[in-house]
Amino acid sequence: MGKVKCECGHVNPRGTILCESCGRALTEEAKKENLVDMRYEGSARRSQTYNKTIIDKVWNFFSSVKVGIWIIVLILVAASFGTILPQEFYIPSNIPAETYYEDVYGTFGKFYYMIGFHDLYNSVWFIALIAALGVSLVIASLDRVIPLYRALKTQRVDRHESFMKKQRLFAEQKASLQASDLEKVREELKKKRYKIREENGALLAEKNRFTRWGPYVNHVGLIIFLFGAMLRSVQGMYIDELLWIREGETLQIPGTDGEYYVKNDGFTLENYKQGEDLEVFNEAIDRVGTVAKNYQTDAILYRDENNDLPGAEPELTEVLHDDIQVNQPMKFESFAVYQTSYRQDEMKAMHFALTNKETGEEFGEVVVDLFNQQETYDLGNGYKVELLGYYPDFDGFTKEGEPTSRSPLPNKPAFLFNMISPEKPDGEVSFVEIQNTMEPLGETMYKMKFKNLETRDVSALTIRKDLTLPILGIGGIIFMIGVIQGSYWNHRRIWIREKDGHIYIAGHTNKNWHGLKREIHAVLDGTAIPEPEDRQKD
Amino acid sequence: MDKKKKRLYMRTAILAILAGLVVYTLYTNLTRESRGNLEAGDQAPDFVLTDLDGEQHRLSDYEGKGVFLNFWGTWCEPCKKEMPYMEKLAKEYEGQVEVLAVNVGESNFQVKNFAEQYGLTFPIAIDKGKEVQETYGINPLPTTFMILPDGTIDQIVTAGLTEEQIRALFESVKPSS
């Protein structure tokens, strides 16, 4: 069954280098060496032992630290490529990525886009690399922590002298242990918080074994972190949406399945002003002109109580008022609404006066809301204006003479008015666009005189929800615990044994040999036990 | 159990779990773009909209008839072109295939004006809150969903249509009796 039986009688798993129990070298190479390799206590790394089925082969591939390091290097190199040019996410959204990269960055940009580096972090191969790292972490850790745990658990107190002889710190003397010396050593060790076990006249003092688990705790944290990152792609766990909302508008909040609405009750952009604000700002104001002090959307949050069907008239109940400022989001449930961007002075309404061209007399003002027009505007006394057509983004006329609009946005509004007056009860037709009036059906007596423009700001809000944050946080904390656990303590062991009229003493630590030497020196001070010497001089 | 066998099972199980997680991650990432988008064969999501005459139209009320669900805007040229054909065929197929035109959220004035100009008699609703558009994932205009009498989507067409094309679409969703 592939077991290796040691001379001491302990049965070790195949592939074991040093007997788990007594420490005798079990392989020819280990027997020849002057100092034993104490990595993983000379235990059998499982991956090295079975290599028959495809499962074992896959397992062994990921178990290799060398493979793991290669994966990390590949990820680092790959991730760095994504930073050469901006990712697709950051380029202007009104330009297609196909053309953007070539237009802006030339041939290099074209290839960059063709290879797929413009969306590198979401590409299959990059995610696959990260996944490979996760798999490597799990398997490589399992393959090492289990044998190490076994070896440290089954280690005997009276290690074979061949094991002790091959330790880095070792001394041997023809003498016998004095009970008083041992007593003193024991006391000193206890003071230094060693755990002492004694068997058959042999002593093993050990402390801080837990520090050996540090790297594995660290890996557990990393795996939890990766798992949290993976959850981001699960529906409902992570939402990142953008909402453009005009002042006065009430809109459904994307990502909330229609449950919540937000109203923009006003957008404010404040700049620092010389004289009003602290003097320290003066220099910057002089240098760049204007310095923004505050971007703010006064928001009202509503819940829709009639949210069964899309399109159903919402029944809104107010939930809360909040001033959304940069870094001061409005929070509700697990959502946060951030101030992201703005556009100032979008056209909202236009004021016209019905004016007699000859006398210049005005017969009332018409306010056309660019988002909600009326069919007729009654001005009284027989004066009335009918709206025949509205073209929010006027784009010229068709062959048939019909005005057209390029888009539904009021970028360049144009109107077809019918002006009714006591003199012209059937009305006169006037086509009005910004800074231009046409009279398509003949000259008119009246005109629509432009008076005023109402504008409003548009605010962009980012709606974000991230349920993976706590998981990422826990992963990060465990990661750090592992780092601390592995870094700030050393696993130290001291073996003392008398056999056939010889005193053997050996010491081992996973790091900071100097510290161990000092400790041993203090423990042995004033006893006849020889102080072990460091046989690996560097 | 044989220890070696046990180890093999253990390894297989762990690798299977890891592989499952990896495949799931890749799958969700690859389908993120198209997630939620409707396809032919899907159940058409129900909605309710009020038309220009103030009448409520609920999609599920049309069960048993074919539906020509058209999303449009007044500025959109191909929409303007196909409207007269829709009007003509809506009359021809009355009782078999219903036309429901959903404006993507313009003002009442604009939509009414448009309907009068083209003499449209089929129900026209304005999706003010853009909820229905969002549910149906509308991007280019016009987009037409052909819905079968049983409420499933037969076809999604994102282009302006000629009279013959609309006729063919009507034929494909009209009840078979």
Q: How confident is the model at residue A280 (pLDDT cuts 50, 70, 90)?
A: confident
At B52-91, the pLDDT tens digits run 888 999 999 999 999 999 999 999 999 999 999 999 999 9
Cis-peptide into A329, omega within 30 deg: no
Residue in A48, A49, A55, A234 to test binding to B, most B beta-carbons within 10 Å: A55
Chain B, nearest residue to A137 by Cα: B18
- The pLDDT of A391-409, averaged and rounded, is 89
Which of A55, A312, A387 is closest, CB to CB, to B11? A55
Give CA–CA dist B91/A57, Å, rounded.
70
Residue in A59, A302, A367 to test binding to B, most B beta-carbons within 10 Å: A59
Of A137, A133, A132, A139, the residue nearest A46 (C-alpha): A139
Quote the percentage of chain A above a pLDDT of 90: 58
Chain A, nearest residue to B113 by Cα: A389
The nearest CA of chain B is from the CA of A88 a distance in Å of 14
If 0-12 CB within 10 Å is exposed, 13-18 middle and 19+ buried, where does residue A452 land? Answer: exposed
Which of B45, B73, B129 is closest, CB to CB, to A252? B129
Q: How confident is the model at residue A535 (pLDDT cuts 50, 70, 90)?
A: confident
pLDDT number for residue B139: 82
Cβ separation of B7 and A138 shorter than 8 Å? no
Q: Which long-range contacts (CB under 8 A, 24 or more apart) does A3-9 make?
A: A8/A156, A8/A160
Of A144, A145, A21, the residue nearest A11 (C-alpha): A21
Within 8 A of B46 by CB-CB distance, chain A residues are 309-310
pLDDT number for residue A285: 85
Of A423, A421, A419, the residue nearest A431 (C-alpha): A419
If 0-12 CB within 10 Å is exposed, 13-18 middle and 19+ buried, where does residue A290 land? Answer: exposed
Q: How confident is the model at residue A288 (pLDDT cuts 50, 70, 90)?
A: confident
Q: Could you tell me which residues come within 8 angstroms of residue A514 by beta carbon, excluding any fewer than 6 positions away?
A: none
Interface check A229 vs B, CB under 8 A: no
Within 8 A of A135 by CB-CB distance, chain B residues are 18, 22
Q: How confident is the model at residue A1 (pLDDT cuts 50, 70, 90)?
A: very low
| In chain A, residues 176-205 whose CB comes closer than 8 Å to chain B | none
Interface check A326 vs B, CB under 8 A: no
At A176-221, the pLDDT tens digits run 888 899 999 999 999 999 999 998 889 999 999 999 999 999 999 9
CA atoms within 13 A on the CB side of A472: 10
The nearest CA of chain A is from the CA of B16 a distance in Å of 10
Which tokens is A463 given?
């709606």
Interface check A312 vs B, CB under 8 A: yes
Average pLDDT, chain B: 89
At A336-391, the pLDDT tens digits run 999 999 999 989 999 999 999 999 999 999 999 999 999 999 998 889 999 999 99
How far are the Cα atoms of A400, B155, B160, B164 from residue B86, in angstroms, in the given order?
Answer: 22, 16, 11, 11
pLDDT number for residue B39: 85
Q: Given strand A195-199, what is the order of strands in its sheet?
A: A195-199, A202-207, A492-499, A502-509, A169-174, A533-534
Which tokens is B68 given?
């020509």
Which tokens is B66 given?
């074919």
Are the beta carbons of B173 and B97 closer than 8 angstroms? yes
Give the count of Cβ contacts less than 8 A between chain A and B: 114
pLDDT number for residue B34: 67
Are the beta carbons of B90 and B122 closer than 8 angstroms? yes
Cβ separation of B48 and A311 shorter than 8 Å? yes
Within 8 A of B22 by CB-CB distance, chain A residues are 128, 131, 134-135
Quote the ipTM score: 0.81
Give CA–CA dist A507/A36, Å, rounded.
12
Chain B, nearest residue to A134 by Cα: B18
Which of A46, A127, A371 is closest, CB to CB, to B29? A127
Give CA–CA dist A265/A457, Å, rounded.
11
Residue count (chain B): 177
Cβ separation of A127 and B3 shorter than 8 Å? no
Chain A, nearest residue to B134 by Cα: A310
Cβ separation of A50 and B4 shorter than 8 Å? yes
Chain B, nearest residue to A392 by Cα: B75
Phi and psi angles of residue A247, each rounded to the nearest 5 degrees, phi first: -60, 130
At A212-254, the pLDDT tens digits run 999 999 999 999 999 998 888 888 899 988 999 999 999 989 8
